[in-house]
Amino acid sequence: MNNLIVLPLIIPIMTAVILVFLRRNIILQRIISILTMIFITGISIMILSAVQTEGIIKLDFGGWLPPFGILFVADSFSMLLVVVANIVTIICLIYAFSTIGARHEQMFFYPFVLLLIAGVNGSFLTGDIFNLFVCFEVMLLASYVLIALGGERVQLRESLKYVLINVVTSWIFLVALAYLYGTLKTLNMAHIAERVAEVGQDPLITTVAILFLIVFSIKAGLLLFFWLPGSYIVPPTAVQALFAALLTKVGVYALIRTFTLMFPLNQDVTHTLIGIMAGLTIVLGCMGALAGKDVYTIATYNVIIGVGFILIGLASGTEAALSGAIYYLIHDMLAKGLLFLLVGTMVYLTGETIVKRMSGLIQNYPLFGWIFFVVLLTLTGIPPFSGFVGKILIGQGAIEAGSYVLLAIGFASSIVVLYSLLRIFLASFFGETTVSEEDKKPIPKGVMVSFILFTISIIYLGVGAESLSVYVQDAAHTLINPSIYIDAILGEGV
Amino acid sequence: MRKVNDVILRTVVKGVVLIILTLGVYLFFSGHNAPGGGFIGGLVLGSAIVLLYITYDIETIQRKMPFDFKKVAALGVLLATGTAIGSLYFNVPFLSQTDGYFNIPILGEKHLTTVTIFEAGVALTVIGTLVTIILSISEDD
């Protein structure tokens, strides 16, 4: 039954509300939230495999047929991201259990994580652009709370900036929606795509498209990332990892969806613009990563480089490039989540954030050290790990599209990523340890479990890329041929 | 603190609150076919409660209405999403609604809809959120 595809949105919301009533019972809150996430992940995997046999699944809310009602659409692209987002949330929750502290847990931490994931899942699944705005807001409201929860001085300053930037962006989003509705008289994504194809993408529609580009760029951290390095480092580690893994990626998803489905016709303008922005993002991100002296700055600029790299795939726009972008998006969600957890744990263990002041971590925590090394390799794109497949496909796509400059920038950024992380590895993990065997803080078991789960997923994504390729190819095929999506929503005859 | 003589305010509010509550209930039930509904009804009902809080002090009202308004809001969301997800049980699309005419003793034939339950959830959420916001502003002076 199609109703299944609304569950990734509605189950977390209902569970979050139930958890409000269990405010004092922390153990029960933990059990319920983790079980909910596992349940949803299972459902999402079921839907993903159903999409392979039945094609795109849609659900018209309340039976209102498109283009009049709101609907949810599950295609391979959105379901892949839903599955990965839920897995990342499970692992971050496991990390949070042993690190977040009772104060957060009593102040509705778990309900807000569930609301965040509900917004993220909703954004991936919706087939109506106004509904996308609503799901963005659900996600953002939860993230406002999560970023400010704790009430430290620096959190207050950064969360104020974060809220202001996002409120202004949401306003621009709303204005763009109004223009879009004014020109095309519809908000259903498939219907918009059809109307744009009918009337052609004239300058007015292209302008509206660029407005959407600005909005999603701010959310994704594409060129307009000025707010990101400051605000991503203030919340607790588990929240940082969730933000780094999910929030920018929702923006990237929205960009890919908008410019492959709705506004694909005037590629000279839009895709060139995306290409230039992606290139600049990578260059600036590299500068930040090279200049950074503390682990947080280096990690956040690595997020920015990742976003730029994925969007090279969109700018190139061939089928290989898009499947590369999807691979890399999945890889980036897992790898950035793990990177932030590792960095947060380093700071927890040493009490320092500056790279040079840490030393010899690998002697006290060998497994921890080698997991960091795995992340380093996977973010650089060394073959057995997950970054490789995405990089090679995006590279192939860029060559097909003839964008050699982007290709050069993209692969040069790999070296910078390698250098910036290797610097942390050499300075902080190697060398003489400053802490004696007796004084060292133990790493909680839950933390190690979450690291190991992340590492397993990364290795699986790299080694088992073949088993995922069916889904990724189907996703890229749908993106490159929007008519499949449109026909599935509106039916052949409309 | 000097005791403020607010006998006029208190007397007027006693009558006015009754009118506002009636209006709120009227707006709530007239919804889904005419202007009104859970959101606006909830706002009006919530404003009546806020007016009571302003006129009398917080402790008095809390004694008469011993609700945790955060939980009222949560209950509302649960009610609204519950009716939405109830569609799954009847194997119709999510958020479907149904209605029918029932003959109720004394009241006569009435038009009953499932959307009213959904709207009740919305109303509770709005009341809970509104009062919580006002109370948290008033607490930190």
List of chain A residues whose C-beta atoms are within 8 Å of the C-beta of residue B88: 1, 3
Task: Specify the pLDDT at position A62.
Answer: 84
A7, A15, A19, A20: best to mutate for the B interface, most B CBs within 10 A = A20
Q: Quick check: is B2 in a domain?
A: no
> Which pLDDT tens digit goes with each residue over B94-105?
888 788 788 777
List of chain B residues whose C-beta atoms are within 8 Å of the C-beta of residue A14: 78, 81-82, 85
CA distance B22 to chain A (A): 29
CA distance A119 to chain B (A): 15
Q: pTM of the predicted model, to two decimals?
A: 0.93
CA distance A166 to chain B (A): 21
**A386 or A7: which leads in pLDDT:** A7
d(CA A173, CA A15): 29
Residue B63 has pLDDT above 90, yes or no: no
Q: Quick check: is B1 in a domain?
A: no
B32, B67, B94, B98: best to mutate for the A interface, most A CBs within 10 A = B94
Nearest residue in chain A measured CA to CA from B95: A62
Cβ neighbours of A106 (radius 10 Å)? 13
**CB distance B94–A20 less than 8 Å?**
no
**CB distance A18–B78 less than 8 Å?**
yes
Percent of chain B with pLDDT over 90: 37
**A359 or B32: which leads in pLDDT:** A359
Q: Give the lowest-confidence range in A106-115, A129-138, A464-473, B31-40.
A: B31-40
Confidence bin at B140 (pLDDT 50/70/90):
low
Domain total of chain B: 1
**CB distance B93–A61 less than 8 Å?**
yes
Q: How far is CA B124 from the centre of its chain?
A: 5
d(CA A362, CA A440): 12
Considering CB atoms only, which of B77, B81, B93 is closest to A3? Answer: B93
Percent of chain A with pLDDT over 90: 69
Residue A36 has pLDDT above 90, yes or no: yes
Residue A358 has pLDDT above 90, yes or no: no
Residue A138 has pLDDT above 60, yes or no: yes
Structural domain of residue B120, as residue ranges? 7-139
Confidence bin at B2 (pLDDT 50/70/90):
low
Q: Quick check: is B20 in a domain?
A: yes
d(CA A457, CA A461): 6
d(CA A487, CA A197): 13
Residue A151 — left, alpha, or beta (φ > 0 → left; ψ -120 to 50 → alpha)?
left
Task: Specify the pLDDT at position A493.
Answer: 47
d(CA A232, CA A245): 11
What is the value of ipTM here, to two decimals? 0.85
Q: Which residues contact B101 (CB under 8 A, 6 or more apart)?
A: B109, B110, B111, B112
**CB distance B81–A63 less than 8 Å?**
no
Residue B70 has pLDDT above 70, yes or no: yes
**CB distance B71–A21 less than 8 Å?**
yes
Residue B41 has pLDDT above 70, yes or no: yes
Q: Quick check: is B93 in a domain?
A: yes
Residue B121 has pLDDT above 50, yes or no: yes
List of chain A residues whose C-beta atoms are within 8 Å of the C-beta of residue B85: 10, 14
Which among A295, A318, A309, A330 has a CA at the least distance from the CA of A415?
Answer: A309
Q: Is B103 exposed, middle or buried (0-12, 13-18, 19+ CB in 10 A)?
A: exposed
Task: Specify the pLDDT at position A492.
Answer: 56
Confidence bin at A176 (pLDDT 50/70/90):
very high
Considering CB atoms only, which of A10, A20, A62 is closest to B93? Answer: A62
- DSSP 8-state assignment for residue A442: P
d(CA A129, CA A254): 10
d(CA A38, CA A35): 5
**CB distance A61–B94 less than 8 Å?**
yes
Check: CB of residue A338 under 8 Å from CB of residue A299: no
> Which pLDDT tens digit goes with each residue over A187-235?
999 999 999 998 888 889 999 999 999 999 999 999 888 888 888 889 9
Check: CB of residue A281 under 8 Å from CB of residue A311: yes
**B58 or A58: which leads in pLDDT:** A58
Nearest residue in chain B measured CA to CA from A12: B81
> Which pLDDT tens digit goes with each residue over A226-264?
888 888 889 999 999 999 999 999 999 999 999 999 998
Nearest residue in chain A measured CA to CA from B79: A14
Residue A121 has pLDDT above 80, yes or no: yes
Residue B1 has pLDDT above 70, yes or no: no
Check: CB of residue A336 under 8 Å from CB of residue A243: no
d(CA B72, CA B74): 5
Nearest residue in chain B measured CA to CA from A59: B93
Q: Give the lowest-confidence range in A59-63, A466-470, A488-492.
A: A488-492
Amino acid letter at A323? S
* CA separation, residue A20 to residues A110, A116, A126 (Å): 9, 15, 27
> In the predicted model, what is the mean pLDDT of chain A?
91
Residues of B near A (CB-CB distance < 8 A)? 70-71, 74, 77-78, 81-82, 84-85, 87-88, 91-97
State the average pLDDT over residues A288-296.
91
**CB distance A20–B74 less than 8 Å?**
yes
Percent of chain B with pLDDT over 70: 96
> Which pLDDT tens digit goes with each residue over A402-456?
889 999 999 999 999 999 999 999 988 888 877 777 778 888 899 999 999 999 9
d(CA A258, CA A260): 6
Phi, psi of B109, deg, nearest 5: -75, 125
> Which pLDDT tens digit goes with each residue over A139-157?
999 999 999 988 788 888 8
CA distance B53 to chain A (A): 24
Task: Specify the pLDDT at position A494.
Answer: 44
CA distance A18 to chain B (A): 8
Task: Specify the pLDDT at position B141.
Answer: 54
List of chain B residues whose C-beta atoms are within 8 Å of the C-beta of residue A6: 94
Task: Specify the pLDDT at position A127.
Answer: 92
First to last CA, chain A: 24
CA distance A490 to chain B (A): 17
